[in-house]
Structure 1
Amino acid sequence: MTQHSRNTPQFYLTAPTSCPYLPGQEERKVFTHLVGERAGELNDLLTHGGFRRSQSIAYRPACETCRACISVRVVVDDFKPTRNMRRVLDLNGDVLGEMRSATPTSEQYSVFRAYLDARHRDGGMADMTVLDYAMMIEDSHVDTRLIEYRLRGPDSRLNGRGSGDVLGVALTDVLSDGLSMVYSFFEPGERERSLGTFMILDHIARAQNMGLPYVYLGYWVSGSRKMDYKGRFRPQERLLSAGWTRFE
């Protein structure tokens, strides 16, 4: 029997399933496990090649007849917010994000549950329990953080923390060249704040402060309402057959 080192990735292909983004299409994924001492290095390398992380799995689409899923990363130093994005920043001037270790809490899960019930009731994550949520946060062998977003408090300038209830949470990997937004969710009752947009803008600012050139947003799918918003954050680079290609 051939023996494989934990540091040598083995790739596998899933069976076809219904595509969650484009009706009438089927999706397949190629995936590998992110384990061992070189998991962080491998996560970096695979992210550069268009993979995404879910817990200790790195995956990317490998569909036979479709290439609609395109990896997108924002060019941080050249990014200029649109008028609407500046409005979102103004609306959330009273919100502060705190980067912390990837530790799940019941408060986070409460927001996560409300978010799924309001926006993804029929999705693949709809039945996730609090234990499933804890696994999503904790099952990582790479440099992963949580960013919690709360209202600013009177002592925020001193302690860098917000106060009040959690409004949103982002699970984020710190890569050698950027921040990768693995999953984010927010309080659905605060719709007027456009918290999803705000959290991306906050990540762009964080990456710039950390000296990182990119924010990885995952897959942009032309024609999918679920993914269309990612195309608004420009300039951005999209991973095409010729490599990462800039779009203004």
Structure 2
Amino acid sequence: NAQGEYYLTDVVAMAVERGLPVQACIAADEAEVAGVNDRAQLARLERHYQHRLAEHWMRQGVSFADPGRVDFRGDVRFGRDVFVDVNVVFSGRVVVGDGVRIASNCVIEDSRIGDHTEILPNCVIDAAEIGGQARIGPFARVRPETVLGSGVHVGNFVEIKKSVVDDGSKINHLSYIGDAEIGARVNVGAGTITCNYDGANKYQTAIEDDVFVGSDTQLVAPVRIGRGATIGAGTTVTRDVGAEKLVVSRVSQREIDGWTRPRKRPPDSS
């Protein structure tokens, strides 16, 4: 044609003229041989393909809130009794265990999700392994080379990178965990930061089992927190902490008598 393209139907005649063998191939779905001439037609075929994948998994026991609003962009494998809400994107190689619930607006790439784990809305999980019965989100980001044990909680506005978190530990609020090894049954308070980068190199933080980390704490790596230690809220940890120790580094509180709050100047009436 004028675009220099060959019509598929013309290919048959061309093959016959050249003495090539011609055999019939029955398409199971007319969409498999549909022509695509613009982006609108391409988008319609993509939706058809996505819906067909969703139907396949629904027959295997997976539930989708709306099979028209899920995207498969790789090799995805589901266990039984999985529920997937709207606007979830699966990319790369993803394995989802039995009984997993994935809420809306999540992106999961090259990751493994353990049985009966719950992913709350607006989470991004990339190249990570999450154990069974964990709870992730909402608004959590789990970055590459992260391994979370069973029963781990990663809450809202938490980012974890290249870290191992053992069974039953909780990082529930507003924290950054990078290049860390966290033991079992650790509680990481809101606003905790592992200070892993000095501007040139990355360093590791190690937190042993049963540690309690208070809110608004900075752990300046490299540093190790011993088993069962308690870090008081507002503490900056710069040296290793022994087992069962309490560490507090905050400034002492003072009350200043006779102080008055500055008053605003009256507006200029001129």
Q: TM-score, normalised by structure 2?
A: 0.19
**Which structure is larger by alpha-carbon Rg, 1 or 2?**
2
Higher RCO, 1 or 2 (CA under 8 Å, sep at least 6)?
Answer: 1
**Hey, which of these two has a bigger chunk of helix by percent?**
1
